[in-house]
Amino acid sequence: MKKIAFVFTHVPHGSSGGREGLDAVLATSALTEEIGLFFLSDGVLQLLPEQQPDQILMRNYIATFGVLALYDIEQCFICTDSMVERGINPDMALVIDATRLNQQQMREHLSGYDVVLTF
């Protein structure tokens, strides 16, 4: 069974990439249990709590990250270097329980996946 990594690198609102990536994750979970989610660069913003996308007339899909556990998706990683670069405290609470890794550790974890999809 192939291991599939979903890498989120874009801001959550302003484009449909994050929402489409999350939809792809949920659809893929029906085919394999070997799924990992990686949040780096601007993708770390996907996991920030208390977002208000309605202020810019966007749909709030961030709450959907909360159902990942129901789909047995437990391998979630967030880049602490990316968080610090964006002024985010690496210890802050996120909308999901994501393992905090630095940039080098993210690369090492990603290398163990057969397929990498970027959103």
pLDDT in tens, 3-35: 999 999 999 987 888 899 999 999 999 999 899
Q: Please give the Cα distance from 28 to 20 (Å, whole number).
A: 12
pTM over 0.85: yes
Strands 115-118 and 99-101, how do they pair?
A: unpaired
CA-based angle 98:99:104, to the nearest 5? 130
Q: CATH number for 4-118: choose from 3.40.1260.10, 3.40.630.10, 3.30.60.50, 3.40.50.300.
A: 3.40.1260.10
First to last CA, the chain: 22
Tens digit of each residue's pLDDT (9 = 90 or more) over 87-97? 999 999 999 99
